[in-house]
Amino acid sequence: MAEIITDLKEISNPSAGDDAKKIVVSGIRSTGNLHLGNYYGALSKFLRMQDDFDCRFFIADLHALTTNPDPNQLHASVKNILAEYLAAGLDPDKATLYVQSDVPEIAEMYLLLNMHVGIGELMRTASFKDKARKALGLTGDGEEIEKEIIGNQSSQARVNAGLLTYPTLMAVDILIHKADFVPVGKDQEQHLELTRRFARRFNSFYGVDYFGEPVNFNFGGEAVKVPGLDGSGKMGKSEGNCIYLLDDEKTLRKKVMRAVTDEGPKEPNQKPSQPVENLFTLMELVSEPSTVEHFRNAYADMSIRYGDMKKQLAEDILKVTTPIRERILDIRDNDEYLAKVVKQGAERARAAASETLRDVREIMGIRGIR
């Protein structure tokens, strides 16, 4: 065993060289179209990173399978997201753009890494608890989920094993590239923490220094959480509170004008309620600082009219989304171009992934009879 470990330590980390560009990996699930949460939490960072880093961005269609989508919708959604990546400005000559399922090495490494992942830690993951709770129609805590899953015959398919092992697959997406940075929104940070834990565990179990510990990337700021229009905490597809990059002008204005607010400030300088603070948060993302200041002051001196604020917010969102929307409509039916992009992306991604998989198999003892 000692001899083997010495050999294994020589397996190099491709991202470790001084001159090598840092490796960046991130993906978005193909479950519909991209919304402002995806844009500000992830895609806008991808755009800023593609010039300076070795970026690998993908469409997480295997992750989308965990919620059992309609096959035709899943396929359409993969194409949509690819078109949206390109329309937003991702450049296939700068970044590797691929579809997760086009890289079969990921599926194999997912199987291998699962041997070092505990069922308990997966069941405690916030996103699993959330999704399982929804699938089972529960409102209670983790214990109740466990009881339901194990005890209730009919619930077993609703909470599938893929949903439970979602973080393993995500860790593999990242580790198979030996990524340094993983630009994601705040909601994905727990998954990233698990990725680092799995990497450490793998290294220590096999006595190797093979995987690094990738971190989120926010250009020195905090991870972003884009709020929804319904007064709730987070913009999300399943929450039905989204503004999509593809929304036309009329739809978008209507959504913003209907956003939840309150009856207005009751006294000067009071703290805004959550729904109103959400509008300010959105404004901080899309508007000029002077515009935000204007409405913050108007709120503080109680002269604010939410209708005016929403009109301005819609205007400023449209400035971001309209050019992207026009390009999406242009690109999304160009099958030949889309196919070419992902073919080239898959080739590059597979080249990197197969090296890591080869090493991981070797480290774990899957060595073939030579």
Environment class of 269 (CB within 10 Å of its CB; exposed 0-12, middle 13-18, buried 19+): exposed
Site string for ligand TYM, 265-304 (x = CB under 6 A): ----------------------------------------
- CA 278/CA 225 separation, integer angstroms: 10
Least CB distance to ligand TYM at residue 179 (A): 8
Q: Are 13 and 212 in contact (CB under 8 A)?
A: yes
Nearer to ligand TYM, 155 or 218 (CB): 218
Active-site annotation, residues: 131, 234, 237
Considering the rule CB under 6 A, would residue 163 count as an interface residue with ligand TYM? Answer: no
Please select the residue that binds ligand TYM; options are 61, 108, 173, 316, rule is CB under 6 A.
Answer: 173
Q: 10 Å Cβ neighbour count for 279?
A: 23
Considering the rule CB under 6 A, would residue 177 count as an interface residue with ligand TYM? Answer: no
| Dihedral sign (CA 259, 261, 264, 269) | negative
Q: 10 Å Cβ neighbour count for 28?
A: 21
- The footprint of ligand TYM on residues 295-354 (CB under 6 A) is none
- CA 30/CA 72 separation, integer angstroms: 12
Helix axes 71-88, 335-364, angle to 10 degrees: 100
Considering the rule CB under 6 A, would residue 231 count as an interface residue with ligand TYM? Answer: no
- Helix count (H) and strand count (E) of the chain? 17, 3
- The footprint of ligand TYM on residues 82-111 (CB under 6 A) is none
Please select the residue that binds ligand TYM; options are 65, 182, 279, 352, rule is CB under 6 A.
Answer: 182
| Residue showing the smallest CB distance to ligand TYM in the complex | 41
Considering the rule CB under 6 A, would residue 37 count as an interface residue with ligand TYM? Answer: yes
Q: Are 304 and 298 in contact (CB under 8 A)?
A: yes
Nearer to ligand TYM, 60 or 357 (CB): 60
Please select the residue that binds ligand TYM; options are 65, 174, 324, 328, rule is CB under 6 A.
Answer: 174
Environment class of 189 (CB within 10 Å of its CB; exposed 0-12, middle 13-18, buried 19+): middle
Nearer to ligand TYM, 44 or 312 (CB): 44
Please select the residue that binds ligand TYM; options are 236, 300, 322, 344, rule is CB under 6 A.
Answer: 236
